[in-house]
Structure 1
């Protein structure tokens, strides 16, 4: 900025003769006035302005007619005029009792254009520059715009992009501004090297950080773009990883990237010091808050003596104690863990100190960086708002909730002092990421041939945090359509309400086509951070098309179909509830934790079906080898359905099992079946099932782990039995397999964490089966973000 302050200092030392004016670019000459003297002007004259009104110039002066002023007022006035961005030069002088303000106006930008840009569109670049059409041209702003464009290209891996500018004068004192861009080549990451790690291999640590090495498909994910801020965040991810696995002394010595200009590739080096591995020693609680008994809080401790030290367990304990103390009337209570290391025994004893804490209130929650997600979607994840007691534990909980939404690539929450000593301002910095998915799945069976499913999912619809999914699928004789919608904060409460609409047709039956359609209304809410409750009401209508009295129908549903055709169809109205529990460390690729689900469903309400159905499933994940990143999984499930009416269960209401439960078998592939003579005419279903799975996965051997390929081996087992169809409904046909015969399969698979999303392919070989089972040995599926 040109202010002329140097010349003003000279003016203060030398008294100039009255009427002599020295003017230059940005210089100020005040005739006959020194710093020690204050002048008074009776008139302010503006010169050189053509587009800017003189009143605008006078309005930015700190000098007014009839008032005294000095050199400081001159200096401040010049600064203000330059700050408007309207002028390229400002000169202030005094002639007699007149203050003369001479200005050179900046040119007006007629048009802003971008040339040479392909990877970043004009709309994206216009968002990062300050120069605007019909705005004033300014050298300082133009320089900042050039750097902003370069930064935008660096963010997509083109650090060597070159940006120049060109001005083309047009009539009326205007100019066209052109940004000339040479995008250059993508700047890749050729290697990520770890130094000092002994407990975990380079491949395992590379999985932890978000910066990835460049590969064949890196241009789709853009995870190989070097960014210094992302590398700092990766340091924190490594700390969390080690701290949660006993390495309390872990630290990152250094992390940096070197650019090889000849190949335009970075080499990232991260040097670490792991330290020793610790276990928990003695764990206790001490309270200085009157009315808070330490013994009453012991049941909340997640850290156990003898267990491997974990910072997460310490944080969970702090959170649990903080919640309990707050409910007892101490919202400002502060829980501080005090650790005592025993270096000889490699133990860490922890004492949780409960103090009343400093009184502080949340003055404001400021959201920054969200370009798509609405502010209220972020705010509602906080259990505190403006005016509430500040609680660091609740802030950490909100951060975790925001991260779990998967709406953002990064979430950072910091604090700033408020307007009063007891006020705190929360600053929430987020960065939106893609939340859409395009999925495709399919398989092949001997009966149905190839089947395929395509679905589109958006988890943050219109930035409102709403979930919507549409799906279309089918095979040679079947079609499936569905639409789902969920509002996670129904009526402003933490209630997830939504609906599912669906329709299926199946023409594989002899002599008719089955058509099912219905709607499912549901609502759910968290009970705790790990336990979730939901309830739903589902109505399904079944119809039969192209059905005639002469049709040859040979399947277990024959008598039921004849009955429902006469009644206009078969309807089911069911009310259900579900309890879900999860401690998984990662929903995408769980390595540790448990997930469990219990569902009960009652059907009746005057519809054709009367039953009560119960199903349960539990999954347990555990790291078998940290160094090799080998993950073990054990799953078990069970289900039972029984009639609550005066008649047997309809065939529609039975349980059916297949590839979704036991790989190697087709949908409805196991369990009781009906035969007409020696001909298999269809699955009849059962009333009871049990199933189990043992599985292990590891990075694909002999392949770079950067590709995201994992190899799976598994064994599935299941049984389905107890058919309850009335004997008269079989019409002389034979029911087989109505006993507790187990089936089992073993197989291998490959999971690819591709830029398109997780893709899975498996081959399963049934090792225990019945001759009449329907097999499906090969299956695949994929989904992708967009």
Structure 2
């Protein structure tokens, strides 16, 4: 600022005798346009010179952050601004730290320096400090960051950060002094800094690496854990870290005063009785009388009361609570007080971030519209419904209060890539060499219509498919779908090969019955040709090739209240359908299919991004006069029973065996994040399935394994490693398979 003041004084000295402006010239100005420059200096030609306005203009130019020096000269009314611009950053290198390009790009954004940004010594200083903080977070103590700045020319510099990572401190021992009723295992569930475990290199073991930035929070986490277990007098001092720099090892000490454990005595809720009866809440509270007090349950109950009141339109209801402690008896009384305030109505719904998706497509997925009375449940479920569309990477809905009884909803979305063109291939244990080509668009022209054209070729299947799906016809509650396909499957049996060719189409219409519940009906028409080729040494009776037609009506119900399209963490999916074959055609049967999927995140319980998943399906086939070979139920593959080949269990001999008519399969899975990548996960699973001709229990099999998931640019990708538990020598097993375009 001292330099600027001197320059301004010199400039003003040359302007003292000026009377008017003949011209204005901006010299060496490239960072901003002439239009912006004229707007910044508001005096025009023929106007009288104003030192105040020139002074303000120079200050305003400096605010852009693009200039090192600005001077002003006046030559008999010809005004000239001379600019010396700051150089731009042409290149940033970070050496000695991250190696992956993706990690480096993220790090450059984090420190605020990347190609094209404006160079300044202050920015470099802040970037260096941020790198040191990041190194400390990862447990590197006494790291050194050296900076080299190379002037490429007057307008560009190259910056190199040379990092010498300090010693990585490993915690060999964690002491919890004063802890009696809770133990190390309890604390390790909530703390970031943990004691090194045996085989620390394995992904499930604690590596003991110090996370210095988390030390100040670990004590609070332990104290919160005590509060959740009823120890409301518990005190935890800031931890003490003793480091042996000779071995780069440390001991970490926590000093704890537990106090006594309290139980919940009485719970009272005070609210206007004409608004809602307090007794309405008591049975729904998570905190129960005569049980151990839990601060987390207390907060959830307060949020539950607020949500129920907000569902009546009181968007800004305030719920407070008091904890009245009885030290002598070791009990607490809880008193909730709810002040509803005014009923709030929606004034407007504003949408931002959607450069492609039409506003009306977003609005039809929001349960609140202008003029509606606010509802907290509608507010939360609107976010979930938008996330389930799969059109967006991120969805946020914010409340903006306008008056005491009016608010705007601001919907902020970050659009996801919804279309792709795929040319790919691979190799699977069952399908052998595979080739895939597809054009998929989940949000055609931003309308919400899904369109797919695919071709899948492998050793056992050739499939061509054209499909359209409109989830909301003319923004109504009605949906529609159309599917045209040509499929050729090959089944390699012990003494014959079966080639099944299916050409068909389906058309359907559905309607939203209530929130998250849909009903509809489809018509499906298939033209099927079965060709049998027997081995030369087979002398038994051979099945005859056959052509037949299957014409069916399929009514269905489906339910979905999950919170995301690709990666649900909460909610369930369920559905049932009844295929009635015999509306013309040759096949005559009824096939019932029912499925259920449940998702639950363990974040609330353990502060870990683990997801518990369960799925089950029950299929039943009823004979109405003719069931063909291809109409039978089958078990095996990634969708029913992993560890066994697709259709591993079903009729093997079409002349001897009857169709399989009953099938049950279910899966338990626990999913974990893979390293720090949010788009990759891994999990462990247990599958169990049953199938039979007239009983569910004719064949029973199970398997365990691991699965890796990646939300790739081509769609969800799964790599499945499975091991059958109770397989028999004649079973068609499969230890590895991958699936593209499908998820749990």
Q: TM-score, normalised by structure 2?
A: 0.62
SS in 2 for 1:44: coil
Residues 252 and 272, structure 1, Cα contact 8 Å, conserved in 2: yes
Q: Give, in whole Å, the separation in 2 of the partners of 1:669 and 1:76.
A: 81
Superposed displacement of residue 179, structure 1: 2.5
SS in 2 for 1:578: strand
Superposed displacement of residue 514, structure 1: 1.6
Highest CA radius of gyration, 1 or 2? 1
Residues 41-74 of structure 1, C-alpha deviations (whole Å, 9 max, x = no match): 7413668744669998775446689999987555
1:505 corresponds to 2:489: yes
Q: Which residue of 2 aligns with 1:336?
A: 319
Q: Give, in whole Å, the separation in 2 of the partners of 1:67 and 1:494.
A: 65
Residues 599-625 of structure 1, C-alpha deviations (whole Å, 9 max, x = no match): 3333344344343322334567899xx
SS in 1 for 2:21: strand
Give the alignment partner of residue 606 of structure 1, picking from 552, 572, 584: 584
Residues 387 and 563, structure 2, Cα contact 8 Å, conserved in 1: no
Q: Give, in whole Å, the separation in 1 of the partners of 2:705 and 2:150.
A: 57
Give the alignment partner of residue 648 of structure 1, picking from 626, 630, 634: 626
Instruction: Mark the runs of 5 or more structure 2 residues left unpaired by the alignment.
Output: 177-181, 195-199, 204-208, 673-679
Superposed displacement of residue 320, structure 1: 6.3
Give the alignment of 1:310-459 within 5 angstroms.
310=297, 314=301, 317-318=304-305, 321-322=308-309, 325=312, 330=313, 332=315, 334=317, 336=319, 338=321, 340=323, 349=334, 351=336, 353=338, 355-357=340-342, 359=344, 382-384=366-368, 395-397=379-381
Residues 692 and 717, structure 1, Cα contact 8 Å, conserved in 2: yes
Give the alignment of 1:82-121 within 5 angstroms.
82-83=62-63, 89-90=69-70, 103-106=81-84, 113-114=90-91
Residues 702-721 of structure 1, C-alpha deviations (whole Å, 9 max, x = no match): xxxxx987666x58352422
Give the alignment partner of residue 779 of structure 1, picking from 711, 735, 743: 735
Q: Give, in whole Å, the separation in 2 of the partners of 1:596 and 1:324.
A: 26
Q: Give, in whole Å, the separation in 2 of the partners of 1:298 and 1:390.
A: 24
Q: Give, in whole Å, the separation in 2 of the partners of 1:29 and 1:490.
A: 68
Residues 442 and 780, structure 1, Cα contact 8 Å, conserved in 2: no
Superposed displacement of residue 296, structure 1: 6.6
When residues 264 and 581 of structure 1 are mapped into structure 2, their CA distance, relative to the original with a 3 A threshold, is farther
Q: Give, in whole Å, the separation in 1 of the partners of 2:684 and 2:733.
A: 17
Q: Give, in whole Å, the separation in 2 of the partners of 1:758 and 1:489.
A: 30
Q: Give, in whole Å, the separation in 2 of the partners of 1:410 and 1:255.
A: 37
Residues 20 and 48, structure 2, Cα contact 8 Å, conserved in 1: no
Residues 526 and 532, structure 1, Cα contact 8 Å, conserved in 2: yes
Q: Give, in whole Å, the separation in 2 of the partners of 1:288 and 1:606.
A: 64
Q: Which residue of 1 aligns with 2:197?
A: none
Q: Give, in whole Å, the separation in 2 of the partners of 1:324 and 1:652.
A: 51
Superposed displacement of residue 319, structure 1: 7.5
Give the alignment partner of residue 516 of structure 1, picking from 482, 499, 502: 502
Residues 3 and 78, structure 1, Cα contact 8 Å, conserved in 2: no
Give the alignment partner of residue 578 of structure 1, picking from 547, 557, 560: 557
When residues 275 and 459 of structure 1 are mapped into structure 2, their CA distance, relative to the original with a 3 A threshold, is farther
Give the alignment of 1:759-774 within 5 angstroms.
759-766=719-726
Residues 443 and 450, structure 2, Cα contact 8 Å, conserved in 1: yes
Residues 223-248 of structure 1, C-alpha deviations (whole Å, 9 max, x = no match): x99998x9999999999999999999
When residues 577 and 371 of structure 1 are mapped into structure 2, their CA distance, relative to the original with a 3 A threshold, is same
Residues 525 and 550, structure 2, Cα contact 8 Å, conserved in 1: yes
Give the alignment of 1:623-702 within 5 angstroms.
637-643=617-623, 647-658=625-636, 661=640, 667-670=646-649, 674=653, 684-690=658-664
Q: Which residue of 1 aligns with 2:699?
A: 743
Q: Give, in whole Å, the separation in 2 of the partners of 1:467 and 1:87.
A: 50
Residues 556 and 684, structure 1, Cα contact 8 Å, conserved in 2: no
Give the alignment partner of residue 59 of structure 2, picking from 79, 98, 111: 79
Give the alignment partner of residue 718 of structure 1, picking from 675, 686, 690: 690
Give the alignment of 1:47-86 within 5 angstroms.
49-50=26-27, 60-61=40-41, 73=53, 75-83=55-63
Q: Give, in whole Å, the separation in 1 of the partners of 2:575 and 2:226.
A: 31
* Greater length-normalized contact order (CA 8 Å, ≥ 6 residues apart): 1
Residues 90 and 116, structure 2, Cα contact 8 Å, conserved in 1: no
1:25 corresponds to 2:7: yes
Residues 91 and 115, structure 2, Cα contact 8 Å, conserved in 1: no
Superposed displacement of residue 286, structure 1: 5.4
Which of 409-418 and 239-248 deviates more? Answer: 239-248
Q: Give, in whole Å, the separation in 2 of the partners of 1:708 and 1:584.
A: 18
Residues 23 and 45, structure 2, Cα contact 8 Å, conserved in 1: no
Q: Give, in whole Å, the separation in 2 of the partners of 1:335 and 1:404.
A: 31
When residues 201 and 238 of structure 1 are mapped into structure 2, their CA distance, relative to the original with a 3 A threshold, is closer
Give the alignment of 1:472-621 within 5 angstroms.
476-479=459-462, 491-492=474-475, 503-506=487-490, 508=492, 510=496, 513-519=499-505, 531-533=516-518, 535=520, 537=522, 539=524, 541-544=526-529, 558=543, 561-562=545-546, 564=547, 569-580=548-559, 596-618=574-596
Superposed displacement of residue 575, structure 1: 2.2
Residues 466-493 of structure 1, C-alpha deviations (whole Å, 9 max, x = no match): 8788887777544456677766666556
1:44 corresponds to 2:21: yes
Residues 246 and 279, structure 1, Cα contact 8 Å, conserved in 2: yes
Q: Which residue of 2 aligns with 1:9?
A: none
Residues 692 and 716, structure 1, Cα contact 8 Å, conserved in 2: yes
Q: Give, in whole Å, the separation in 2 of the partners of 1:618 and 1:59.
A: 63
Superposed displacement of residue 208, structure 1: 14
Residues 482-540 of structure 1, C-alpha deviations (whole Å, 9 max, x = no match): 677766666556887666665232264747632124455567777677x5435462635
Superposition RMSD on alpha carbons, in Å? Answer: 7.2
SS in 1 for 2:342: coil
SS in 2 for 1:657: coil
When residues 571 and 580 of structure 1 are mapped into structure 2, their CA distance, relative to the original with a 3 A threshold, is same
Q: Give, in whole Å, the separation in 2 of the partners of 1:482 and 1:383.
A: 34
Q: Which residue of 2 aligns with 1:725?
A: none
Give the alignment partner of residue 272 of structure 2, picking from 285, 288, 297: 288
When residues 130 and 618 of structure 1 are mapped into structure 2, their CA distance, relative to the original with a 3 A threshold, is closer
Superposed displacement of residue 79, structure 1: 1.4
When residues 781 and 449 of structure 1 are mapped into structure 2, their CA distance, relative to the original with a 3 A threshold, is closer
Which of 302-311 and 612-621 deviates more? Answer: 302-311
Residues 627 and 659, structure 2, Cα contact 8 Å, conserved in 1: no
Residues 314 and 343, structure 2, Cα contact 8 Å, conserved in 1: no
Residues 488 and 497, structure 1, Cα contact 8 Å, conserved in 2: yes
Q: Give, in whole Å, the separation in 1 of the partners of 2:666 and 2:35.
A: 83
Residues 399 and 410, structure 2, Cα contact 8 Å, conserved in 1: yes
Residues 642-670 of structure 1, C-alpha deviations (whole Å, 9 max, x = no match): 355xx333343333334554567654444
Q: Give, in whole Å, the separation in 2 of the partners of 1:301 and 1:29.
A: 73
SS in 2 for 1:716: strand
